[in-house]
Amino acid sequence: WCVVCGVWCVVCGVLCVVCCVVCECVCCVWSTASVGAQAQLTFNCAAAPAVAGDRRLDKSTLTIAHWNVEWLFLSKWDKRWSSYEEAMAHLKLVAGVMKALNVDVWHLAEVEDCSVLGKLIDAIGDSTYKPYMVRGTDTATGQNVALLTRVDPVVNLTRTEARAAYPVLGNNCGSTSVSGTSAVSKHLITRLHPQNFPPFVVVGAQREAQALVLQGVIASHVQAGLNVVCMGDFNDWDLQVPDVKSSRPISRALSFLKDVIPEKEEDEAVTYELVNVAQNVAQSTRFTAYYNPDSSVCLAARDAS
């Protein structure tokens, strides 16, 4: 970039030369940010390796986590950040947390592309992680979900383009005058050894329909006798596993995702094929991330969900 900066100084003339000298290569910083905003996105990390690796130091345990890393973007950083430098500072902050937690399999939401995952690995400073992503269809935000994992998938990452109709019968989410079909824009399906790690979903306005799409995907794996981990941003509460405020869900999304093989008879007791791991956490500490763009405003603990 020093060479690029020199070219910019020559092209831009005397004023830019002064900037370079006085402000320590301001032109270089500016040109870096500009190129970052226009860089070509890369989605070349969906394929499983020919031989799946397992780079865990302790093979007797497997730790898995999901984290919404909030606009982990470096190319089109201006979708959220005021500068490339701010976007990079955010990435380094994320890397610091991930390094401290030392999880084996990370599932990340709101990731831009494969190249960002590479930079995240560099920032963590841990080559045991490998990046995987299949591009989603959310063209509005450009956000995707991804894996950063020490245990490689044994099959390529895929996604389903299936759709479900809404409103779903019995819907209590509000107006039922609007109808249509909904797919799941951001998710991935793959299998890890020794576990199957199917979809992650961000549930939108038609959350029940989206949950039904994933219900079918999960059911197919369960019926094949595979272990399933389903995680992500579900954007609703769980009626059976209440949060610290005992908030009630506004949809049946979590129920659909836990009861993936519904009982045939109405009077049959519900059998949940998946369990919400939050049930292993005391209700007094079951909190939900609260997005607040105004960092000067904090919720009191009694108000937080």
- Under the banding of pLDDT at 50, 70 and 90, the label for residue 127 is very high
Nearest Cα residue to 285 out of 255, 250, 248, 242: 242
Report pTM. Answer: 0.79
Q: pLDDT averaged over the chain?
A: 80
pLDDT at site 299: 53
pLDDT digits (tens, 9 = 90+) for 210-243: 888 989 988 988 888 888 888 888 888 899 999 9
pLDDT at site 48: 94
User: What value does the mean pLDDT take over residues 128-147?
Assistant: 94
